[in-house]
Amino acid sequence: MRAVMCAALVATASLGAQGRTAADSILKARADSIAREDSVVGILPQAEVPLLTEAGMSHRWNRDSLFATGALTLADFLDRVPGLSTFRARFYLAPQVAAYNGDLSRVRLFLDGIELEALDPRGGGVTDLSQFPIAALDELVIERGANELRLLMRSWRGPDRITAQTRADVYTGDNRSNTFRGYLARRAHNGFASQAMLQQRSTDDRRLGGDGDATTIFTRLGVIKPKWSIDATLLRVRTTQQALSIFDVARYVNTGRPIPNYDIVQREAYLRFGAGDVNRGPWLQLIAASRQSVESTAQRGADLTNAYAADTADTTRTSTQYVASIGWSSARARLSATNRLRLVDGQRLNHPSVRVGFDLGRLTIAAYGERNPFDKVTRGDAFARVQPVSWFAITGAASYGTTGSTLLPIDSTGVKEEVFFPVARAARGEVAIRLGRLWLQGGGVVRDSAVLRAPIIFDRAIPVVIEGRALGATFAVVGPLFKGFSMHVSGVQWQEAGWYRPQTQVRSELTWRYHWTGASKTGFDFLLAGDAEYRTETIYPLLQSDSTLSELPTFPATPVGVRAEFRIKDATISIQVRNVLNVQYTTVPGLLMPGPLTIYGVRWTFWN
C-alpha cells in the first residue's frame, strides 16, 4: 500500500512539474511574442563622441546619471572638472559662466554635432550656462583638452519600442522655485517617431532679485529605418529675469547697482539625415541648422554706474550652420572629418575639423584639429593614456593654436576693436595610481599667454585683458571606498592667482549607495551624498572712469550641499539642500549667493 501511495505521489509531482513547465513555456512564448511585436528596428542617430583618455574618472553622464547628480544647470557638471571655475549670480536662472584655466572663451558647447556659439548680446561672446536646458539631453560628455573644454551633448532620442513612453517630473522648493516637466515619445512599425518635452521653471527671490522663469519646448519628428533616418528637431527656450541686486558683502548693503532685467528667446532648429552607426562601421550625417536669439526686454533706463546704457530696441541675432560629417568606427579606432558651413552676419565661413582615436589596450591616443574662421586660428589637441598595468597610468594632453584675431568690445562703450591672439600653447599631465578600487592622481598644467574675454554679462565695466603664462598643479582622488561609499575629490593649485583663477580650488563629494531587493525582486535604491567646494578669492579686472585698471576680488567661503534619492521601480523621489550652513560668499564681486536652498520632488517614468 505504501509503495502504491509513493508511486501515486511521484506521478502527481511529475505531472505537476510537466504542467508548470508547459505553463512556463506558454508564458515565455507569449512574452517573446509581445516583445517582438513591441520592438522596432533602428534608432535615431547620435553625434560622435571622442575616446576619453582620463584615468579613474570619466566626465560622461547618461540620461539616468544626469538627473541623479542633482544638477540644475550645465555649470553644476563643470564643477567636477579640475582646472575649471564656474561663476554664478544665483543657483537657478541668473547668469552663470565658466573659465577653463582662467579663460572664459575656452568652454564650447555642441548639441548633436552643432556648435552652440554665444548669440546672447549680453554675453560678449561668453556663453551663459544657465540658459541651456539639461532636461533635453540624453548624454553629456566632457572632453578636457589642455587649453579648451568641449561639452558634447546628445539630445533625448526617445524609446526603441512601439509602446508610448511618458515621464513627469515635479519639483518645488525655497524661493518659490518650481520645475514641471513632461515627456511623451512614441514609435510606429513603419518607422515614424515623435517626441515632445515641455518644461516650466520659475523662482522668486524677493530679497536679492534675479528671479524669473524659463519655458522650454523640445519637439522632434522623424522616420527611422534600419540603415538610415531623417528627423526634424526644435528646441525653444524663453527666459525672463528680474533685476539682480549687487551687494557690498562686507557691509551687507545694497549698492544700488543692479544687473538689469531681460527677456530673451533662444531657438535651435535643425533637419538631420543619418546613415550608419557612429559606434560601429562607416557612418554619415548631414545637418541643416538654424539658431536665433531674440532679446525683447522692456525699456530700461541708463545705469551709468554699472555701464549699462538705455535699451529700447529688440536685439535679434541669427546663425545658420550646414554640417557634413563622415567617419568610421570600431572597437579599437575612430576616424571622422567634419565641415561646418556657417552663415554669420552675411558672411560664409568654412569651419573644418578632424578627429582620430585609437584604443590599443595599454595605450590610448586621440587627436582633434580644426580651423576656426571666427578668430582665424588653427588649433590642434593631442591626448594620450599609457597604462602598462591595471593599477598605474599616465595621462596627458597638449594643445597648440596659431596666431589670430577677432573683433571684441574692449571696454564699456561697446565699440569693437580687432584684438590679436598670441600663439596658444598648453599642456597637462597626470600620474594615476590605483589603491584597491580608489584612484589617486597628481599632475600639472601650464598655459601660455592668452587674451581673456570679459564676462560683461555681470558688469560691462569689466574689460578684455591679456595675461601671461599660468602654471598649476592638479590632483584628484576618485573611486569606491567600502560598503557602498565612494568619493570624488579634485582640485587645482596655481602658482599664483590670476584673472578668473582662484589660486586654490578644491571640490569634494562623498556618496553612499544602498540597494535592497525584497521578496518581490523589485526592491529599492537609496543614495545619500554630500559635497563641499573650497576656493580662495577670485580677482576680476575693473575699468575705472579714468581708464585705469583695478582689481576687484570675490568674497570666498566653503558652501556645503547635501542630497538624497529614493528609487523604487520607475519612480525616484529626491531632495537636495544647497549652502546648508548659510555661509555668505560670492563667485562674482557683489553678487551674493543665496542662503540655504531646498529643492525636492519626484521623477516618474512609465509606459502607456
> Distance between CA 43 and CA 276 in Å, rounded?
10
Q: Does 19 reside within a domain?
A: no
Cell matching residue 337: 572629418
Cell matching residue 221: 519628428
| pLDDT, the chain, mean | 86
| pLDDT value for 108 | 94
Number of domains observed in the structure of the chain: 1
3-state secondary structure of 493: strand
Over residues 29-45, the mean pLDDT reads: 59
Contacts of 420 (CB under 8 A, 6+ apart): 403, 404, 405, 451
pLDDT at 579 over 60: yes
Q: Provide the whole-model pTM.
A: 0.89
% of the chain exceeding 90 in pLDDT:
56
The β-bridge relationship of strands 137-144 and 149-155 is antiparallel
Selection from 174, 167, 106, 175 nearest residue 142 by Cα:
106
Contacts of 6 (CB under 8 A, 6+ apart): none
pLDDT at 509 over 90: yes
* pLDDT single digits (tens) 84-124: 999 998 888 889 999 999 999 999 999 999 999 888 878 88
* Residue 15: pLDDT band with limits 50, 70, 90: very low
Outline where DSSP puts E strands in 536-584: 539-543, 549-553, 560-568, 571-578
- Check: CB of residue 156 under 8 Å from CB of residue 197: yes
| pLDDT value for 3 | 45
| pLDDT value for 1 | 43
Over residues 221-226, the mean pLDDT reads: 92
* Residue 542: pLDDT band with limits 50, 70, 90: confident
Q: Which comes out higher in pLDDT, residue 402 or 29?
A: 402
> Distance between CA 571 and CA 565 in Å, rounded?
10
Dihedral of alpha carbons 78, 82, 88, 91, sign: positive
- Cα distances from 525 to residues 48, 139, 459, 482, 571, in angstroms, run 32, 22, 45, 17, 11
> Distance between CA 495 and CA 504 in Å, rounded?
9
Outline where DSSP puts E strands in 225-314: 228-241, 247-248, 253-254, 262-277, 280-295
* Residue 8: pLDDT band with limits 50, 70, 90: very low
Over residues 438-453, the mean pLDDT reads: 93
> Distance between CA 347 and CA 330 in Å, rounded?
38
* Residue 532: pLDDT band with limits 50, 70, 90: very high
Q: Does 40 reside within a domain?
A: no
> Distance between CA 599 and CA 205 in Å, rounded?
14
pLDDT at 384 over 70: yes
* pLDDT single digits (tens) 122-138: 888 899 999 889 999 99
Contacts of 182 (CB under 8 A, 6+ apart): 166, 167, 168, 169, 197, 198, 199
3-state secondary structure of 355: strand
Over residues 274-295, the mean pLDDT reads: 93
Other CB atoms within 10 A of residue 30 CB: 10
Over residues 553-559, the mean pLDDT reads: 92
> Distance between CA 132 and CA 113 in Å, rounded?
15
Over residues 349-369, the mean pLDDT reads: 95
Distance of CA 155 to the CA centre of its chain: 11
3-state secondary structure of 369: strand
Q: Does 504 reside within a domain?
A: yes
Q: Does 34 reside within a domain?
A: no
Cell matching residue 534: 573650497
Q: Does 11 reside within a domain?
A: no
* Residue 387: pLDDT band with limits 50, 70, 90: very high
- Check: CB of residue 589 under 8 Å from CB of residue 552: yes
Other CB atoms within 10 A of residue 248 CB: 15
Cell matching residue 173: 522648493
- Which region holds residue 209: left if phi is over 0, alpha if psi is between -120 and 50, else beta? left
| pLDDT value for 452 | 92
Amino acid at 198: L
Q: At 218, which helix (H) or strand (E)?
A: strand 212-224
| pLDDT value for 518 | 65
| pLDDT value for 327 | 96
Selection from 20, 280, 177 nearest residue 601 by Cα:
177
Three-state SS sequence of 381-439: EEEEEEEEECCEEEEEEEEEECCEEEEEECCCCCCEEEEEECCEEEEEEEEEEEECCEE
> Distance between CA 88 and CA 582 in Å, rounded?
17
pLDDT at 9 over 50: no
> Distance between CA 458 and CA 499 in Å, rounded?
15
Cα-Cα end-to-end distance for the chain: 58
| pLDDT value for 2 | 44
Over residues 255-262, the mean pLDDT reads: 74
Q: Give per-residue burial for 289-313: e unless 16+ CB within 10 Å, then b.
A: bbbbbbbebeebeebeebbbeebee
Over residues 475-486, the mean pLDDT reads: 93
| pLDDT value for 26 | 46
CATH of the domain at 272: 2.40.170.20
The β-bridge relationship of strands 247-248 and 228-241 is unpaired
Contacts of 28 (CB under 8 A, 6+ apart): none
pLDDT at 459 over 50: yes
Cell matching residue 334: 575612430
pLDDT at 37 over 70: no
Cell matching residue 26: 506558454
Q: Does 12 reside within a domain?
A: no
| pLDDT value for 20 | 45
Cell matching residue 76: 553644476
Selection from 300, 299, 339, 341 nearest residue 321 by Cα:
341
Contacts of 22 (CB under 8 A, 6+ apart): none
pLDDT at 308 over 50: no
Q: Name beta bridge partners: 155.
A: 137
pLDDT at 21 over 80: no
Q: Does 175 reside within a domain?
A: yes
Range of the domain at 362: 48-607
| pLDDT value for 11 | 44
Q: Does 336 reside within a domain?
A: yes
- Cα distances from 32 to residues 36, 164, 226, in angstroms, run 6, 19, 21
> Distance between CA 491 and CA 487 in Å, rounded?
13
Over residues 482-496, the mean pLDDT reads: 93
> Distance between CA 188 and CA 160 in Å, rounded?
10
| pLDDT value for 575 | 96
* pLDDT single digits (tens) 390-415: 999 999 999 999 988 887 776 666 67
Other CB atoms within 10 A of residue 523 CB: 13
